[in-house]
Amino acid sequence: MRGRNANSISVRDNSYTRGYQAYQNNARLCDFPAPEASNPGSAPGRHALQTFAKAARVTLHLTLGPVPARHRRHMKKVAVILSGCGVFDGAEIHESVLTLLALDQAGADIHCAAPNIPQAHVVNHLDGSTSESESRNVLQESARIARGAIADLAQLDPADFDAIALPGGFGAAKNLCGFAFDSESFEVDPTLADFLTKAHALGKPIAFACIAPAVAAKLFGPEGLRYTIGTDEGTATALSKWGGEHVSCPVDDIVVDAERKIVTTPAYMLAERISEAHAGLGKMVDALLALAD
């Protein structure tokens, strides 16, 4: 192990460094300001780290530590249905990750899934061009976001879950349904339609973000569903054909149809920054889990 001096810190002090950084990141949630310790390796820095590491330890435990076994029986089991990987031909990555993060922070037991079907097409996300020769699989692409921990949607039983969430991205309107190609007579992927209609019949709450509410409008609009895709009048008008009521909604808010247990938020239908999407998606997850109680 390297020796210490006034300008170095040993490997054993990494926990203090992490503690101090976590504390700084969450200082505004505390009743006292972070100390001046711009150089964690200095003697004053080490003293500050040792003094305030305990204050950050709870944050580290909640975000990184395992959930005690006695609490696991209370965790909500949530299926997150993805539609590929990438905003223009799959699941919107920011929305997917923010949804997964919010669920994890709420202590949910997360299970990613996707239909095992070909993508509608493949888009070069650098220049927006469509490849005429390349093909990809929705399940395989979704596995990128899920870090490989993902199931074929056809293999899942909605009765096994407490709630379901669908992030947006063009994949929701191209792969999960055909709204992006034919708004007048589109269909929902049969595997997804079967899963969601069964879940809905069982009273499972479902959340849809961004353009994913197009799926909700097609499946549940005839019941009088209240939902949002934000403020885009053209998209709202196209979806109105299937019934239901579109509600104009800002990026940082949600629409909750409590009777049907369906939550929607605009996300990147309106968001210009990831923080804007985060605000609405966080509320979406909170409402989803509340409906699952």
* Active site positions, annotated: 210
pLDDT in tens, 205-229: 999 999 999 999 999 999 999 999 9
Query: For residue 279, which of 244, 255, 254 has the smallest C-alpha distance?
Result: 254
pLDDT in tens, 61-92: 344 444 444 344 479 999 999 999 999 999 99
What six digits make up the tokens of 136? 């990809």
Lowest-confidence pick of 44-48, 240-244, 261-265 = 44-48
Please name the amino acid found at residue 231: T
Residue with tokens 């007579």: 185
Query: For residue 276, which of 257, 242, 249 has the smallest C-alpha distance?
Result: 249
H/E stretch holding 21: helix 14-25
Alpha carbon distance 19, 52 (integer Å): 8
Q: Where are the domains of the chain?
A: 11-64, 75-291
CATH classification code of 75-291: 3.40.50.880
Helix axes 213-220, 190-201, angle to 10 degrees: 70
